[in-house]
A and B are shown apart, each in its own frame.
Chain A
């Protein structure tokens, strides 16, 4: 294409996009004035007047909407971080079991991965909530002295109480993501050439030592990008908390929309909160990535 043609095409497309957006915004303003809502964020500082079952920081229903939203964001972060850890531990174990020597264990983990990956997450969450936690008929499932108590009230772990909604979400998200992480780990281990295994064995290193100091350091650069995208998926999937009644950022936005009708503003808030969450996860993973690559360089 000639240069003038290029500029013309770009100009045309830009004009098209701008006029489309303008048309949509025009429709929006007409619709908002028709319903008498308008567009502003003043309502954020009015009392929220709904209760939250779970709040890591003090909250009462007379606090304002902005504070409620912040609590929701913290709740999201709490469930994301804890299920992220569960998923990583489980996923690593299953990934190693999948690539390990024991054929039975490998078969078993392959079955686990297929079953988890071929049913919807929402169904799994509901399963954990309605069957896993609310389903205990005699209220208590496990009760070992004062160390751990699992009942339809949730999990009590030596003083730390987790509600049944949180626990269901933790297990659901953790187990769902662990199947994907296991595949990432397996891919990473398989990406290490077979000669490396033979080499450390012929050097007389034990399997454990060889795995830890030869195979895993080489598999990590292949594993980390996949792991990051699985963590981001987990963060996005945590919005399904609304199905089990956990008050995360999406659920609180939903409640506020039902109360005030401020759909557009809440949607923008939701987008911004997710942008923040994504940035947080990406930056953390970037730091981890750099540390690991640096530690390899100097050794």
Chain B
């Protein structure tokens, strides 16, 4: 028993040796890299533990999480974020009961109305204006609402671009190409400053919804292209088969094309939503106090002036953590959705 494990360890080390020192140059490179890595790690740990002044993060944790939400109502966004975390954990590690798995999608979608109810208040909760929303809560709200809204719009745009009617095809092509040619910040700027000019006098939409609207317009163009890629890779025989089964055009789209296109486009779509999460940080320039905006306002506070490194490292960590959670969820979803490629 010990013999086997010792020999396997020896083989393992031999493998490492072969990988790292196949010739003299490689050995040298590996040694230098090891030296650099250990130096960087040591310095970073020393800074993280001894030199950094984490008071700026510790004393502002509620601000980072909830922005300027009234402090006696903090439990509301907290419940929302915790419920999102619990659903993520159930999705990843939960039991494989059939009824649970079936209703998971509904649970994910219902978190958005739940979040909006908890944030807005009303129906028994104190109403809170959207200008008090902020921090991680606002970042997650922007991401979830815009992804949910842009998916159907993207599907419609992709179908229009594939349509046999030339006028519709042209219109959606123009929309998609223009949206993809302009920078996101211009679209967000349009949302914040120009949308009020296009509305009739007296009607106003609040800033958060204007931002969600702008994100939706922007992301749907990218999603449309991803789904178009999916639609194009569906073999033509699928449509012939559906036709010969006697399905009509809407049934073909609904039952044959969209499910397959979505499954093919899934990795691209999850990348879009991770990108969207990162891009919500642009709203910090345009005046919403989301996660990065909170960081900026804290750095403008004379008490914490000059503590850029601590705040930025902390923000980078939070963004990285949420992105990683999203990426893990996405990989889980992709694994569940793959089918045997031999069936094609």
Contacts and interface: CB of A to CB of B under 8 A. Distances in A.
Q: Which of A31, A123, A271 has the most CB of B within 10 A?
A: A123
B316 A104 contact: no
Interface residues of A, number: 50
B10 interface: no
A32 interface: yes
Interface string A213-246: 0000000000000000000100011011011000
B189 A267 contact: yes
B180 to A, nearest CB: 8
A236 B184 contact: yes
Interface stretch (B145-153, B195-203, B258-266): B195-203
Nearest to A117: B323
B100 interface: no
Contacts of B186: 239, 250, 267, 270-271, 274
A64 to B, nearest CB: 23
Contact of A123 (B26, B33, B193, B312): B312
B336 to A, nearest CB: 23
B171 A13 contact: yes
Interface in B259-275: 274
A37 B324 CA distance: 48
Contacts of A264: 194, 197
A10 B319 CA distance: 45
Contact of A274 (B29, B165, B183, B320): B183
Given A13-B168, A127-B312, A240 B181 contact: no
A14 B165 CA distance: 12
A66 interface: no
Interface in A23-76: 24, 27-28, 30-32, 34
B278 A27 contact: no
B197 A28 contact: yes
B61 interface: no
A122 B30 contact: no
Interface in B276-308: 278-279, 281-282, 284-285, 292, 308
A257 B193 contact: yes
Interface in A100-124: 101-105, 108, 115, 118-123
A17 B282 contact: no
Given A120-B281, A264-B194, A239 B185 contact: yes
B1 interface: no
A127 B34 CA distance: 26
B30 A102 contact: yes
A9 B278 CA distance: 39
Given A102-B29, A271-B186, A130 B308 contact: yes
A239 B165 CA distance: 37
B316 A123 contact: yes
Interface string B8-37: 000000001001101000100110011001
A107 B242 CA distance: 47
Contact of B183 (A34, A118, A130, A250): A250
B309 interface: yes
Given A32-B197, A123-B315, A102 B281 contact: no
Interface of B: 16, 19-20, 22, 26, 29-30, 33-34, 37, 164-168, 171, 178, 181-186, 189-190, 193-194, 196-201, 249, 274, 278-279, 281-282, 284-285, 292, 308-309, 312, 315-316, 319-320, 323-324, 327
Given A119-B319, A236-B184, 19 more contacts: A13-B168, A17-B171, A34-B201, A101-B26, A102-B20, A108-B33, A123-B281, A123-B312, A123-B315, A126-B292, A130-B312, A131-B312, A236-B182, A239-B183, A250-B183, A263-B194, A264-B194, A267-B190, A267-B194
- Top-10 shortest CB links A-B: A236-B183, A120-B278, A118-B323, A120-B281, A103-B19, A10-B167, A239-B183, A130-B308, A119-B316, A24-B198
30 contacts: A10-B168, A13-B167, A13-B171, A27-B199, A27-B200, A34-B201, A102-B20, A102-B30, A102-B33, A105-B30, A108-B33, A115-B320, A118-B320, A119-B278, A119-B323, A120-B319, A121-B278, A122-B285, A123-B315, A127-B312, A127-B316, A236-B182, A240-B282, A242-B185, A243-B285, A254-B189, A263-B194, A263-B197, A270-B182, A271-B182
